[in-house]
């Protein structure tokens, strides 16, 4: 039962936290997706969250040492971290007695320095990633030149703030009521004006924002906030709204590093956390609208809120036609929320103003329809403005500079029509103010006039009227490029201009001007509609960047690396190293798209005759999946080799492994296949042992989607296969050669699960620590699984009995393989049975099948021989062998996790056997075995996003 919090103003934000922690301690503040949890998510309750805030406050007070809390200092946060730890930083600093200022990591160094100086920041908490550290120290250098001094302090890790065992920190002073007019938080504007502006937020502002929602009990709502940036006011104010209403907020899992909120990842997380509502910018909706599956998923939310920018008409209409409950929301940091959050039936574009606001609607001059108004918000007792820029009859007010249009039939509804100051709202929610950028551009004597465009587009472009006729577009772009670079240095990253987006005006269509000599923007855009669309098309093709880098002219890793390096250097910066994370170096989704488009063009321009299918197969998110030059090059090289000269190409193309990249095929002689290198020497890779087939082709999906280190073990010509012991001893030695010291993370799939266990056993016997033992859809006990036609009283000391047991096991495997969807597996099962019975020779089998037979079918007796060797009793039956295996497995101390397929080895057995074998026998020897069941088959489990994410935690 939820106890609502009073909204009479008696509780400030910190007291609201304390109220929730004491009155609703077991209610959830945060929820995040977790594949290891039975419900698919985990929660952080109010009591735990407030404890985390308080621990953060204690750490902050310790880091700041002795300061005068009677005059609270302003503490800035410049951090790339996930939302839950970021929220703890914000409200931990506040609980420490300081004023907190979250700073956008997207600002330029100059803008960051400006904000620090303007807000009077004395201490700056900075995350330890390279990009943020560089930005902080560059800003600090600028401040030093102005005789402004700040202390740069590393942020505490999530492990440090979430622990409940610390005793080395001082106690916090008791809570005191925060005065309504005290500035407790500081926000800033987007930075697309001359400089980002400091926006102080008081306790009264926070409370009025919450009271405007109406009612104090939203405890049944789970809001998807994965797409929110916590350094935005909309992000950290959402935490305050949850404190006053009891709403649960869903985020990505808490980590000290950040996670890029791609549309795929946001929607998947929102569904996993069973959100009732979801909020996002229009660019997410545009992406989801292209997928019928995503549209169906959006229908499951009671409300899909969007704001921060315009949504394309066709996208909104499509989603509404498919019964997606869209709701436009409107507000700003300066004014707080302006719109209600309830359905009104007037169309997805429109919003209803809150009755607690006091809007002033000024008719737009020259509007014949009488429906357009400039929106001004007056301050009143129920709506506190953060800043004001005008007075109306002595009352503080804020001119939003937005033009709104009244609904044709419902006078209480409005939609955003445009901006008085022509600020451009992009489809990704970012905004560009064209004025300052245009002013920089027209300083160049070659430019007569310049007009920035980009409404409803993900980035900006510019129309330029040259001072003299420009005959050659490319030469003109090159001539003015130094000036464009000056504008780009001034602009935030989302407002930067690219060469492809520079359009020259035509003499036949001169810019239309007002009597005052200013640009008639709407008329000019109408005249150049086609040119603007063509420019965005050219950008997508990345023609200029690709032409500068050139095509790939030889099949080699070196040539591929040069091409990829060229595109990354051209779009990020020349100094970025091959192993540096592209996004930590300043990349964003815009630049990632540009890099991908450039690489695509280079592939098309290559002289090695790549097929169109190969080029088209380059994933849209390839830069996100392979975020540094080296691994991106390896992936691209793999695509090239596979399309041109891959060994086994014909057979692979007709097998389940037809998407195996050449970066795997090229390592066919390596026992340890390095699918993805760890990001640092401190991060041990997960080392997966091959399945029964002996190769690691089945791990291709993991290679593409892992974010942490991933190595794999495969059979090669030098692998000894005389016995299970010889083979696993060999793997153990190869692992020690590649990673001499622990800790180790070991895993195995199918038949490789047993091998993984013995490798872990050997490592621990050597004194090494194994921190993770992952078994995928198999365990050492599965060779003893009771088949219906197998006598449980059999004595394995009898060679005939043992042969019959092997026959039945092979037959059983063939029956299972016949049920799998891919025809290759069905063909393999038929060939396998013929080969087992001596009716087919190995040399008559396709190479891939022959290799799989050699490792899977001939490897099974070797593994079972090892199992039998664990006991010397006679008779040697199932009971005795199982008991010996249990004792052997008990010697392994590593934590064991079993990932089993719901439609896997035990899916069709009787209920009483399912109960006994629910953990594949691992619970008999490992009491703390963790079992995670995934919706998959034995084959498809390796392509499971849930498996990939879970194994990395």
Which residues share a beta bridge with 380?
A: 383
Task: Evaluate if residue 543 carries a pLDDT over 50.
Answer: no
pLDDT tens sequence across 606-642: 777 776 656 766 776 788 878 899 999 988 888 887 7
Residue 452 contacts residue 462 (beta carbons within 8 Å): yes
pLDDT tens per residue across span 416-472: 877 776 668 777 667 777 877 887 898 899 998 999 998 878 789 999 999 887 778
Please, where are the H alpha helices in 396-472? Answer: 434-441
Instruction: Report the distance separating Cα 400 and Cα 91, nearest Å.
Output: 29
Of 155-164, 381-390, 458-467, 907-916, the least confident: 907-916
Average pLDDT, whole number, for the chain? 85
Q: How many residues does the chain have?
A: 953
Task: Evaluate if residue 214 carries a pLDDT over 60.
Answer: no
Task: Say what the pLDDT of residue 773 is.
Answer: 95
Q: Kindly report the CATH number assigned to the domain that includes residue 470.
A: 3.30.300.30
Question: Does the pLDDT of residue 643 top 60, yes or no?
Answer: yes
- DSSP β-ladder status, 336-337 and 331-332: antiparallel
Is the pLDDT at 702 greater than 90? The verdict is no
Q: What's the average model confidence in pLDDT over 680-701?
A: 82
- Residue 518, domain member (yes or no): yes
DSSP state of 114: H
Neighbours of 50 (CB within 10 A): 24
Under DSSP, is residue 45 helix (H, G, I), strand (E, B) or coil? strand
CA distance 8 to 115: 34
What span, in angstroms and rounded, lies between the C-alpha atoms of 774 and 21?
Answer: 37
Question: 689 pairs with which residues across the strands?
Answer: 713, 748
Contact 711, 685 (CB under 8 A): yes
Per the structure block, which two tokens stand in for 429?
A: 């929610």
The answer on pLDDT for 175 being more than 80 is yes
Q: Is residue 224 included in any domain, yes or no?
A: yes
Contact 82/157 with Cβ under 8 angstroms?
no
- Predicted local distance difference test score (pLDDT) of residue 947: 92
Cα(258)–Cα(196) distance, integer angstroms? 23
Quickly state the pLDDT bin for 661 (edges 50, 70, 90). low
Whether the bond into 952 is cis, omega within 30 of 0? no
Cβ–Cβ < 8 Å for 551, 606: yes
In a domain, 596, yes or no: no
**Residue 143: inside a domain:** yes
840 pLDDT more than 70? yes
CA 244 – CA 6 distance, rounded (Å):
8
Residue 851, helix vs strand vs coil: helix
Percent of the chain beyond pLDDT 90? Answer: 37
CATH code (residue 129): 3.40.50.12780
Q: 73 — phi, psi (to 5°)?
A: -75, 160
Write the pLDDT tens digit of every residue in 373-412: 999 999 998 889 999 999 998 999 999 988 899 999 999 9
Within a domain: 654: no
Residue 465 lies in a domain: yes
Residues 145, 135: contact at Cβ < 8 Å? no
Q: What is the pLDDT of residue 89?
A: 95
Query: Which pLDDT score is estimated for 547?
Result: 43
Contact predicate 324/318, CB 8 Å: no
Using one digit for the tens of pLDDT, what is the confidence trace for 258-286? Answer: 888 888 999 999 999 999 999 998 888 98
Residue among 172, 10, 170 nearest 98 (CA): 172
**In this structure, is the dihedral angle defined by the CA atoms of residues 647, 648, 650 and 656, taken in order, positive or negative?**
negative
CA angle 833-834-839, nearest 5°?
150
Burial of 494 (0-12, 13-18, 19+ CB in 10 A): buried
Is residue 709, in this structure, part of any structural domain at all? no
d(CA 851, CA 694): 7
Residue 772 has pLDDT above 60, yes or no: yes
Interval 337-360 mean pLDDT: 90
Q: Show which of 499, 524, 541 is a domain's final residue.
A: 541
Q: What is the mean pLDDT of residues 491-520?
A: 80
Decide if 259 is inside a domain. Answer: yes
Query: In the predicted model, is pLDDT for residue 120 greater than 50?
Result: yes
Q: How confident is the model at residue 544 (pLDDT cuts 50, 70, 90)?
A: very low
pLDDT of 839 over the 60 cut: yes
- If one counts the domains in the chain, the total is 2
Helices (H), 96-202: 109-119, 130-145, 158-162
Of 216-230, 503-517, 571-585, which range is least confident?
503-517
What radius of gyration, in Å, describes the C-alpha atoms of the chain? Answer: 31
Long-range contacts of 534-539 (CB under 8 A, 24+ apart): 535/461, 535/500, 535/501, 535/502, 535/503, 536/457, 536/461, 536/501, 538/500, 539/498, 539/500, 539/501, 539/594, 539/597
How far apart are alpha carbons 277 and 270 in whole angstroms? 9
Q: How many angstroms separate the CA atoms of 728 and 735, rounded?
A: 10
Residue 546 is predicted with a pLDDT of 43
Indicate if the pLDDT at residue 668 is higher than 70: no
How far is 762 from 866, CA to CA, in rounded Å?
15
Q: What angle do CA 94, 97, 98 make, to 5 degrees?
A: 65
Pick from 514, 541, 568: which residue ends a domain? Answer: 541
Q: What is the pLDDT of residue 647?
A: 43
Give the per-residue pLDDT at 342: 84
Work out whether strand 372-378 and strand 395-406 pair parallel, antiparallel, or are unpaired.
antiparallel
User: Which residues does residue 328 pair with via DSSP β-bridges, in sequence order?
Assistant: 306
Q: Is the pLDDT of residue 602 over 80?
A: yes
Residues 697 and 749: beta-carbon distance below 8 Å: no
Q: What is the pLDDT of residue 614?
A: 65
Instruction: Pull the structure tokens for residue 912.
Output: 């009483």
Q: Is the pLDDT of residue 148 over 70?
A: yes
DSSP 3-state percent helix, strand, coil across the chain (nearest 5): 40, 20, 40
Q: Which residues contact 345 (CB under 8 A, 6 or more apart)?
A: none
Closest CA to 599 of 570, 574, 573: 570
Task: Choose the weakest-confidence range: 275-289, 299-313, 825-839.
Answer: 825-839
Interacting residues of 639 by C-beta distance below 8 A, sequence separation 6+:
603, 614, 617, 618, 661, 662
Closest CA to 450 of 433, 434, 471, 426: 434
Burial 596-613 (b: 16+ CB within 10 A, else e): bbbbbbbbebbeeebeee
* Lowest-pLDDT range of 48-57, 121-130, 173-182, 694-703: 694-703
Distances (CA, A) of 411 to 402, 736, 743: 18, 74, 66
Which one is predicted more confidently, 862 or 788?
A: 862
Is the separation of the CB atoms in 149 and 143 below 8 Å? yes
Q: Which residue, among 851, 505, 472, 924, has the nearest Cα to 693 in the 3D structure?
A: 851
Q: How far apart are the first and last CA of the chain?
A: 33
Sign of the C-alpha dihedral, residues 475, 476, 479, 484? negative
Instruction: Choose one of 259, 280, 301: the last residue of a domain.
Output: 280
Reply yes or no on whether the pLDDT at 192 is more than 50: no
- At residue 711's C-alpha, the angle toward residues 708 and 712, to 5°, is 140
C-alpha distance from residue 506 to each of 206, 447, 461, 500, 528 (Å): 51, 14, 16, 17, 9
Domain of 454?
433-541
Cα–Cα distance for residue pair 450/453, rounded to 1 Å:
10
Higher pLDDT, 115 or 512: 115
């Amino acid at each position: 039962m939820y106890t609502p919090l009073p909204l009479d103003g008696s509780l400030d934000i910190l007291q609201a936290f304390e109220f929730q922690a004491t009155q609703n301690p077991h209610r959830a503040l945060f929820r995040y997706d977790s594949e290891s949890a039975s419900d698919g998510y985990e929660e952080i309750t109010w009591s735990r969250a407030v404890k985390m805030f308080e621990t953060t406050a204690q750490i902050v007070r310790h880091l700041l040492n002795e300061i005068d809390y009677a005059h609270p200092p302003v503490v800035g946060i410049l951090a790339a971290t996930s939302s839950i730890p970021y929220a703890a930083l914000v409200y931990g600093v506040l609980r420490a007695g300081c004023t907190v200022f979250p700073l956008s990591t997207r600002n330029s160094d100059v803008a960051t320095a400006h904000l620090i100086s303007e807000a009077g920041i004395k201490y700056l908490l900075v995350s330890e990633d390279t990009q943020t550290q560089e930005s902080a120290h560059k800003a600090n250098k600028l401040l030093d030149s102005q005789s402004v001094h700040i202390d740069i302090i590393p942020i505490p890790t999530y492990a440090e703030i979430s622990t409940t065992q610390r005793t080395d920190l001082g106690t916090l002073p008791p809570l005191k009521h925060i005065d309504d007019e005290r500035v407790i938080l500081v926000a800033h504007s987007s930075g697309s004006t001359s400089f980002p502006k400091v926006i102080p937020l008081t306790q009264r502002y926070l409370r009025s924002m919450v009271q405007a929602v109406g009612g104090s009990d939203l405890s049944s709502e789970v809001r998807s906030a994965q797409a929110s940036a916590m350094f935005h006011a909309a992000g950290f104010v959402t935490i305050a709204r949850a404190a006053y209403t009891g709403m649960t907020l869903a985020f990505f899992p808490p980590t000290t590093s950040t996670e890029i909120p791609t549309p795929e990842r946001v929607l998947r997380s929102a569904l996993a956390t069973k959100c009732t509502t979801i909020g996002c910018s229009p660019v997410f909706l545009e992406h989801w609208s292209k997928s019928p599956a995503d549209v169906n998923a959006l229908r499951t939310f009671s409300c899909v809120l969007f704001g921060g920018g315009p949504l394309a008409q066709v996208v909104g209409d499509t989603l509404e036609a498919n019964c997606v409950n869209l709701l436009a929301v409107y507000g700003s940091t300066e004014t707080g929320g302006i719109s209600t959050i309830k359905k009104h039936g007037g169309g997805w574009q429109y919003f209803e103003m809150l009755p607690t606001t006091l809007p002033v609607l000024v008719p737009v001059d020259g509007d014949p329809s009488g429906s357009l108004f400039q929106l001004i918000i007056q301050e009143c007792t129920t709506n506190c403005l953060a800043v004001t820029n005008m007075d109306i009859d002595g009352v503080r007010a804020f001119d939003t500079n937005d033009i709104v249009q009244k609904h044709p039939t419902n006078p209480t509804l409005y939609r955003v029509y445009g901006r008085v100051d022509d600020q451009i709202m992009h489809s990704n929610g970012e905004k560009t103010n064209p004025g300052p950028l245009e002013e920089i551009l027209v300083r160049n004597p070659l430019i007569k006039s310049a007009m920035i465009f980009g409404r409803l587009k993900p980035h900006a472009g510019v129309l330029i009227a040259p001072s003299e006729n420009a005959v050659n577009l490319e030469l003109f772009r090159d001539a003015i490029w130094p000036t464009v670079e000056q504008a780009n240095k001034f602009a935030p990253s989302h407002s930067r201009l690219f060469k492809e987006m520079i359009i020259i005006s035509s003499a036949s269509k001169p810019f239309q001007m007002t009597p005052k000599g200013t640009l008639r923007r709407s008329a000019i855009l109408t005249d150049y509609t086609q040119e603007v669309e063509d420019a965005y098309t050219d950008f997508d093709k990345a023609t200029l960047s690709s032409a500068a880098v050139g095509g790939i002219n030889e099949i080699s890793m070196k040539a591929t690396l040069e091409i990829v390096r060229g595109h990354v250097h051209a779009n990020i910066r020349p100094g970025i190293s091959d192993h540096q994370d592209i996004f930590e170096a300043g990349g964003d989704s815009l630049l990632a798209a540009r890099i991908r488009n450039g690489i695509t063009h280079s592939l098309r321009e290559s002289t090695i005759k790549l097929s169109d299918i190969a080029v088209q197969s380059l994933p849209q998110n390839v830069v996100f999946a392979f975020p540094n030059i080296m691994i991106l090059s390896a992936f691209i090289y793999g695509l090239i080799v596979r399309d041109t000269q891959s060994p086994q190409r014909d057979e692979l193309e007709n097998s389940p492994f037809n998407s195996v990249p050449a970066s795997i095929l090229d390592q066919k002689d390596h026992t340890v296949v390095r699918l993805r290198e760890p990001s640092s020497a401190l991060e041990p890779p997960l080392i997966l042992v091959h399945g029964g087939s002996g190769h690691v082709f089945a791990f291709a999906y993991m290679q593409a989607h892992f974010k942490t280190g991933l190595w794999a073990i495969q059979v090669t010509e030098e692998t000894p296969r005389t016995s299970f012991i010889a083979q696993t001893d060999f793997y153990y030695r190869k692992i020690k050669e590649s990673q001499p010291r622990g800790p180790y993370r070991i895993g195995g799939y199918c038949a490789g699960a047993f091998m993984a266990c013995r490798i872990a056993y050997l490592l621990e016997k050597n004194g090494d620590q194994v921190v993770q033992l992952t078994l995928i859809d198999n365990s050492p006990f599965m060779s003893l699984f009771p088949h219906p036609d197998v006598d449980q009283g059999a004595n394995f000391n009898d060679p005939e009995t043992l042969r019959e047991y092997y026959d039945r096991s092979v037959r059983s495997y063939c029956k299972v393989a016949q049920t799998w969807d891919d025809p290759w597996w069905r063909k393999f099962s038929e060939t396998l049975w013929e080969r087992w019975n001596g009716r087919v020779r190995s040399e008559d089998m396709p190479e891939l099948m022959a290799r799989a037979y050699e490792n899977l079918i001939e490897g099974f007796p070797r593994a079972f021989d090892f199992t039998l060797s664990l006991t010397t009793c006679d008779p040697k039956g199932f009971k005795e062998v199982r008991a010996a295996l249990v004792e052997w497995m008990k010697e392994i101390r590593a934590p064991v996790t079993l990932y089993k397929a719901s439609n896997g080895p035990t899916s069709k057995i009787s209920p009483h056997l399912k109960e006994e074998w629910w953990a594949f026998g691992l619970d008999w020897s490992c009491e703390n075995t963790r079992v995670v069941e995934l919706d998959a088959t034995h084959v498809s489990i390796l392509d499971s996003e849930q498996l990939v994410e879970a194994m990395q935690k």
